[in-house]
Amino acid sequence: MAKVTGELVRAQAAELREVDLDIQRAQELAEDVAKINAAAAAARGRLDFNDEPARFLALLSAPRASPRSPRKRK
């Protein structure tokens, strides 16, 4: 996956929302996106396709929770 940079955020804001972001603000947003991506990647192994969508938010809120036990398949 490509790294999210301030320039990328700035270009996306301009293209998708017609917003001219200051480069400093764009860099701050890029750092936030990197944190969110890292949290989602850390939770990925603890989620199952059939989980309730709310489980994802719970995992992001408590990323150090222990991995859940595997489900038995019928």
Per-residue pLDDT at 65: 45
In-domain check, residue 47 = yes
* The total number of residues written for the chain in this structure: 74
Question: Rounded to whole angstroms, what are the CA distances from 60 to 35, 36, 43, 55, 71?
Answer: 11, 9, 7, 9, 21
Work out how many domains the chain is built from and give that number: 1
In-domain check, residue 68 = no
In-domain check, residue 46 = yes
pLDDT tens column, 11-55: 999 999 999 999 999 999 999 999 988 888 887 888 888 888 888
pTM: 0.66
Q: Which structural domain, as residue segments, surrounds residue 54? A: 6-61
* pLDDT of 72 higher than 60: no
What string of H, E and C letters represents the secondary structure of the chain? CCCCCHHHHHHHHHHHHCCCCCHHHHHHHHHHHHHHHHHHHHHHCCCCCCCCHHHHHHHHHCCCCCCCCCCCCC
In-domain check, residue 73 = no
Higher pLDDT, 63 or 55: 55
In-domain check, residue 66 = no
